[in-house]
Amino acid sequence: DQQVKQNSPSLSVQEGRISILNCDYTNSMFDYFLWYKKYPAEGPTFLISISSIKDKNEDGRFTVFLNKSAKHLSLHIVPSQPGDSAVYFCAASARGGTSYGKLTFGQGTILTVHP
């Protein structure tokens, strides 16, 4: 049972345009959401996060939107740059009790930004 899903395996975008990566979750106990970027032969790197008490969080070119009623989050990258080409993973956590900070990841979306 995949609790976090990224239904688009890949996304291709022109440099300068907006990239929108989507993620859906099923577990209503999740209250913290994260996006990671991964280059080949490297570990994932933390990009941006959002708590369930917010519906938007911005950090430079990156904005994450959370729609709790739809159990959906998205990552917007504006403007997209060729260096953004990577695999993007969304992840979710239920922070309370004995969760111990465990993360549940989606399958990943390969973003390619063309010059």
By the criterion CB under 8 A, which residues form the site for another protein?
4, 6, 32, 34, 36, 41-46, 49, 89, 91, 93, 95, 100-108
User: Shortest gap between Cβ of 103 and another protein (angstroms)?
Assistant: 6
Q: Which residue has the tokens 């995949």?
A: 2
Task: Judge contact between 74 and 83, C-beta under 8 A.
Answer: no
State whether residue 22 is helix, strand or coil. strand
Residue with smaller CB distance to another protein, 41 or 70: 41
Amino acid at 45: T
Residue with smaller CB distance to another protein, 21 or 32: 32
Residue with smaller CB distance to another protein, 97 or 115: 97
What are φ and ψ of residue 19, in 5° steps? -105, 135
User: Shortest gap between Cβ of 44 and another protein (angstroms)?
Assistant: 5
- Torsion angle in degrees (nearest 10) through CA of 6, 11, 13, 17: -10
User: Shortest gap between Cβ of 83 and another protein (angstroms)?
Assistant: 19
